[in-house]
Amino acid sequence: DIQMTQSPSSLSASVGDRVTITCRASQGIRNDVGWYQQKPGKAPKRLIYAASSLQSGVPSRFSGSGSGTEFTLTISSLQPEDFATYYCLQYNSYPVTFGQGTKLEI
């Protein structure tokens, strides 16, 4: 199975900050990565697919990059509604696997 190691597990930041979350895959997975945002009691929402493609309707302050084994999600200027938990996902091979999550807090 491909392991997705996500860091950090939690992050304290302020409105307006630039933040970066990283996922490292245990083997090369091309660009078969997605990023999700989840708020308490809600379903996950996809932000990024194919490592760097922005999901329709998602604000442009969200961006993704990487290929192979290293992937990042960047939020260029945090807004109050961005405080949530973020997950990466690899879909290069089965089983599909998620990172452990990053809780973004004020």
- Provide the binding-site residues for another protein, judged by CB under 8 A: 1, 34, 36, 38, 42-46, 49, 55, 87, 89, 91, 94-101
Cβ closer to another protein: 73 or 97?
97
Q: How far apart are CA 21 and CA 9, in angstroms?
A: 9
Are 103 and 8 contacting, i.e. CB atoms less than 8 angstroms apart?
no
Cβ closer to another protein: 83 or 98?
98
Which residues pair with residue 49 across a beta bridge?
53
| Residue 14 beta carbon to another protein: minimum distance, rounded to whole angstroms | 25
Cβ closer to another protein: 62 or 87?
87
Give the CA-trace dihedral at 16, 62, 19, 24, to 10 degrees. Answer: 180
| Residue 88 beta carbon to another protein: minimum distance, rounded to whole angstroms | 10
Cβ closer to another protein: 44 or 76?
44
